[in-house]
């Protein structure tokens, strides 16, 4: 059963359309991550679902009801904000209990729920502290706890980890994922960090300029990107993009020189872009694609990134960490054809 259904959702601010017909179904218990560059409309989408902004057109259904005209509190959602939004003048217990203020449950029942949420988050011993006496990670746990006590149909997270330092972020990422596995709630999570998206999501929604670019599992968006934007947004370092043209028999002539047999059916004469991830491109392996001099080396330990100069800029490849080619050395980079992606040069859509 779909828990959250978004249909033809449009949002306009003073005549500027910032969301263009968003469609999405989120299954019960699913962890969906919205990812995209800043300003692409992720927060707007989330705020529309939460009821903090008014829908311009389209519909939002939560747990089988259209909620377009419901107040946020009646939508059966809870939201965790980037700034935590926990109140400095209240104790942790009060902050967590704040989510229950409008609930009609008897007081002992509320207390019990606060305690059990605190226990789940490992915050029991901090219940009577004020937020100023907590670390950043603990504050974010309080914010999550406040959302959890309400036991909503859908949890909404808007970049909840971006105020934490890198180490804590990795840790909280894991904790949220574990929490999701334990509680099994439906989560819509917004981030601009593709690593967060890849590591946490059941399904990723990639957005750009108010459009959904692709919806898929982490593996799908990584291995079968729908277009050049997704291809370059997911994965680090970004996918190499080499312009070329299809010649007879499915070969591609690259503008950087060289040509390769692709073995897939491609329309002859079409201008295309060949995409190869740095992790698939190695010196002296597979079918050779590019030849050039090593400009820069970035040792990462077990492997080394090498930047190889070509007529259309540097191409990044991965070399062995122990015996990387020297700077200035001419290398031939190759990749297995099944790891290559071909996109239409005009539209950027994936061709094969």
Partner 1 sequence: MAAIDDTRIKPSSEVLLKSGPSRPPRNMGQVLRFLLLFAGGILMVMPIAFMISTSLKWPHEVYNLNFIPEEPTLENYTYVLEDGRFYWWFLNSIIIAVITTVCSVFFDSLVGYTLCKFRFPGRYLVFIAILSTLMIPTEMLVIPWYLMSQQFGWLDTYWGIMFPGLMTAFGTFLMKQFFETVPDDFIEAARIDGLNELQIWWTVAMPLVRPALAALAIFVFLGNWTAFIWPLIVTNSVEMYTLPVGLSSFGDEADVAWELIMTGAAISTIPTLIVFLIFQRFIIRGVVMAGLKG
Ligand X SMILES: Nc1ncnc2c1ncn2[C@@H]1O[C@H](COP(=O)(O)OP(=O)(O)O)[C@@H](O)[C@H]1O
Q: What is the 3-state secondary structure (H, E, C) of 132-161?
A: HHCCHHHHHHHHHHHHHCCCCCEEEEECCC
Binding mask 189-228 for ligand X (x = CB under 6 A): ----------------------------------------
With CB cut-offs between 5 and 8 Å by kind, which of partner 1, ligand X, Mg ion, none does residue 155 bind?
none
What whole-number distance in Å separates Cα of residue 202 and Cα of residue 54? 28
Contact 73, 102 (CB under 8 A): yes
Q: What share of the chain is helix, strand, coil (3-state, %, to 5)?
A: 30, 35, 35
Instruction: Kindly tell me the burial class for residue 258, based on how many C-beta atoms sit within 10 Å of its own C-beta (0-12, 13-18, 19 or more).
Output: middle
Alpha-carbon 47 to chain mean position: 17
- Applying the rule CB under 6 A, the residues between 42 and 61 that interact with ligand X are 42-44
The site string for ligand X over 66-85 (x = CB under 6 A, - otherwise) reads: --------------------
* Residue of the chain from 41, 99, 286, 334 that contacts ligand X (CB under 6 A): 41
Single out the residue of 40, 143, 187, 212 in contact with ligand X (rule: CB under 6 A): 40
Secondary structure letter of residue 4 according to DSSP: E
* Burial class of residue 21 in the structure, from the number of CB atoms within 10 Å of its CB (0-12 exposed, 13-18 middle, 19+ buried): middle
175 binds partner 1 (CB under 8 A): no
Q: Distance (Å, rounded) from C-alpha 186 to C-alpha 203?
A: 12
For residues 52 and 236, which CB has a smaller minimum distance to partner 1 in the complex?
52
Residue span 18-47 as binding mask against Mg ion, x where in contact by CB under 5 A, dash where not: -------------------------x----
Give contact residues for partner 1 (rule: CB under 8 A).
Answer: 50-52, 71-73, 77-79, 81-89, 98-99, 101-102, 130-132, 135-137, 139-140, 146, 150, 163-165, 168
Give contact residues for ligand X (rule: CB under 6 A).
Answer: 13, 18, 36, 38-44
């Amino acid at each position: 059963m779909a828990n959250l259904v978004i249909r033809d959702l449009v949002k306009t601010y003073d005549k500027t359309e910032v969301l263009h017909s968003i469609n999405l179904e989120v299954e019960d218990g699913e962890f969906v991550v919205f990812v995209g560059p800043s300003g692409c409309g992720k927060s707007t989408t989330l705020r529309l679902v939460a009821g903090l902004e008014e829908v311009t057109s389209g519909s939002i259904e939560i747990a089988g009801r259209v909620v377009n005209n419901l107040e946020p509190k009646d939508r059966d959602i809870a939201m965790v904000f980037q700034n935590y939004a926990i109140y400095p003048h209240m104790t942790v217990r009060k902050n967590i209990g704040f989510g229950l203020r409008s609930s009609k449950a008897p007081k002992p029942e509320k207390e019990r729920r606060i305690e059990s949420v605190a226990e789940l988050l490992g915050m029991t011993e901090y219940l009577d502290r004020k937020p100023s006496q907590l670390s950043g990670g603990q504050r974010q746990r309080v914010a999550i706890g406040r959302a959890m006590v309400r036991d909503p149909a859908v949890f909404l997270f808007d970049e909840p980890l971006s105020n934490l330092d890198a180490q804590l972020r990795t840790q909280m990422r894991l904790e949220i994922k574990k929490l999701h596995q334990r509680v099994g709630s439906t989560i819509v999570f917004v981030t601009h960090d593709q690593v967060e998206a890849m590591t946490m999501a059941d399904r990723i929604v990639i957005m750009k300029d108010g459009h959904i670019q692709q919806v898929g599992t982490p593996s799908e968006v990584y291995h079968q990107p729908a277009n050049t934007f997704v291809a370059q947004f997911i994965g680090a370092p970004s996918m190499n993009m080499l312009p070329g043209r299809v010649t007879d028999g499915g070969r591609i002539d690259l503008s950087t020189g060289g040509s390769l047999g692709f073995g897939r059916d491609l329309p002859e004469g079409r201008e295309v872009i060949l995409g190869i991830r740095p992790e698939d491109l190695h010196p002296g392996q597979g079918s050779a694609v590019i030849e050039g001099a090593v400009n820069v080396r970035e040792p990462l330990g077990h492997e080394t990134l090498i930047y190889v100069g070509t007529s259309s800029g540097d191409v990044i490849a991965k070399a062995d960490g122990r015996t990387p080619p020297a700077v200035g050395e001419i290398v031939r980079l190759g990749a297995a054809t099944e790891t290559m992606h071909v996109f239409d040069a005009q539209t950027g859509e994936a061709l094969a």
